């Protein structure tokens, strides 16, 4: 297993829809293992394959945050098939470090996917897990959490981001 480099905004791959997985081979299993190790090392509660530069519909999530036994979920070709309610809470992203903001998301969701053994599965979620699932599936579809915020907050983010980048170059 290896810790992979997490791609940072505004890298192009973060804005591209990832490709569906059709081959469940050793290469895919290694990618999943490396993503899990990378997510825990970051540390984060979720990671999508395009965040490590791979255009595949693969995500890993563990919302246990070290407080309990691992609740690791591996999602392949995930799709949200049901949404209910709305909840606003603070979000951040490993690809946009040191920036958090309030994001509105569905409060309850159902996701259909395949697990790492290619078995169909459904995940019903609410709370942090629902938020993490929506966040990672957004990544797989080329969206970032900053795409889910209002115009004024987005402008604030752009100004802060460009200011920080110009400081980095000095």
Q: Catalytic amino acids?
A: 136
Give, for 131, the enclosing helix (H) or strand (E). helix 127-140
Beta strands in the chain (DSSP E): 46-48, 58-61, 73-84, 87-93, 96-105, 108-114, 120-126
Mode of pairing for the β-strands spanning 73-84 and 108-114: antiparallel
State whether residue 52 is helix, strand or coil: helix
Cβ count within 10 A of residue 75: 25
First-to-final CA distance of the chain? 36
């Amino acid at each position: 297993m290896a810790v992979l480099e997490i791609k940072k905004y505004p890298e192009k791959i973060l804005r591209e829809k990832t490709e569906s997985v059709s081959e469940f081979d050793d290469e895919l299993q290694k990618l999943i293992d490396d993503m899990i190790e990378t997510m825990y090392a970051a540390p984060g509660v979720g990671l999508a394959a395009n965040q490590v530069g791979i255009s595949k519909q693969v995500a890993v999530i563990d919302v246990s945050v070290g407080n309990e036994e691992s609740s690791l979920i591996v999602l392949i070709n995930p799709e949200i098939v049901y949404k209910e309610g709305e909840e606003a809470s603070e979000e951040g992203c490993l690809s946009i470090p040191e920036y958090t903001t309030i994001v509105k998301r569905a409060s309850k969701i159902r996701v259909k996917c395949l697990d790492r053994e290619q078995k169909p599965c459904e995940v019903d979620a609410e709370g942090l897990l629902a938020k993490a699932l929506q966040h990672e599936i957004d990544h797989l579809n080329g969206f970032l959490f900053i795409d889910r915020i209002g115009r004024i907050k987005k402008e604030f983010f752009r100004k802060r981001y460009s200011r920080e980048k110009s400081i980095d170059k000095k």
